[in-house]
Amino acid sequence: MKTPAALQPLIDDGVIDEVIRSLKSGKEATVYLVRSKAHTRCAKVYRNMRQRSFQKRARYQEGRKVRGSRQARAIGKSTRFGRREQEAAWKNAEVDALYRLVAAGVCVPRPFGYFNDTLIMELVTDAAGDPAPRLGEIDLSPETAREYHGFLVQQIVRMLSIGLIHGDLSEFNVLVGSHGPVIIDLPQAVNAAGNNGAFAMLERDVNNIRGTLGRFAPELLKTEFAREMWAQFELGALTPDSKLTGVFARDEATADAAAVLVAVEDAREEALQRELGREG
């Protein structure tokens, strides 16, 4: 295929040798299959954000560290410089998260470098060596659904144990590789300790996975892993290998306003994503 303009500098610098084809195009980025010497990898080219999207992203970025006080003030005032800084922080967040998560033993694509708004990373493949399907694209036996659910809950625990929450985890952001599920798409990764909406986002992540895999193993729909792991996290007792039961007594007297606001804000977008997923 014709080399996209954004990837030509990487070819000129010898980072990649060839662009094979486009793999996925979305609101945030376009992902290409590329060849780098003997390896086939992914090149994720981030799009520039539109101003209208800054407010929504701000709820994910709450609690993230910025480079200095000048940058923080500019972002807070939403100046032109501040918007550029916010955009750069959004793009870098996924790169930083991937390196941290790989080091923590979380099953995510391995990054190989970030160059001019482009992330080079591992290509997740199925048993035949083809690009892996998304979790929502395959049918599962009850046994496999339970296995995947247990595995993904443990991955979320490992993320939370180092202070990170995916923030947008669903059947669209999990690939099923040759060795099982792999979590992808992390530009909105949330600082668990510094974000007021952290629990609501964690609960949504966990419950999205519960709902997807509960279609094949309905008993999973009764579990409450998000509340259980968050309670341990707040006590400082959560470890990467914490064993959870999925049983947690809800306090029905306390309304979870943050969770309601997150759900309302994202309902329309998630419905659109599902429709696009069916069309794709």
CB–CB of 172/180 below 8 Å?
no
- Annotated catalytic residue within 13, 126, 139, 168: 168
Catalytic residue, candidates 185, 205, 241, 266: 185
Do residues 238 and 229 lie in contact, with contact meaning Cβ atoms separated by under 8 Å?
yes
The rounded distance, in Å, linking the Cα atoms of 204 and 250 is: 16
Beta bridge partners of 119: 44, 114
For 180-183, the CB contacts below 8 A with 24+ separation are: 180/107, 180/148, 180/151, 181/107, 181/135, 181/148, 181/151, 181/152, 181/155, 182/107, 182/108, 182/109, 182/124, 182/132, 183/101, 183/106, 183/107, 183/108, 183/152, 183/155
Is 117 a residue of the active site? no
Using CA atoms, how far apart are residues 176 and 113, in angstroms rounded to an integer? 23
Q: Rounded to an integer, what distance in angstroms lies between the CA atom of residue 177 and that of residue 133? A: 8
Contact 121, 32 (CB under 8 A): no
Rg of the Cα atoms in the chain: 19
- With a CB cutoff of 8 Å and minimum separation 6, the contacts of 229 are 153, 156, 157, 160, 202, 206, 238, 242, 244
Q: Which residues contact 137 (CB under 8 A, 6 or more apart)?
A: 277
96 catalytic per annotation: no
The residues annotated with a catalytic role in the active site are 168, 185
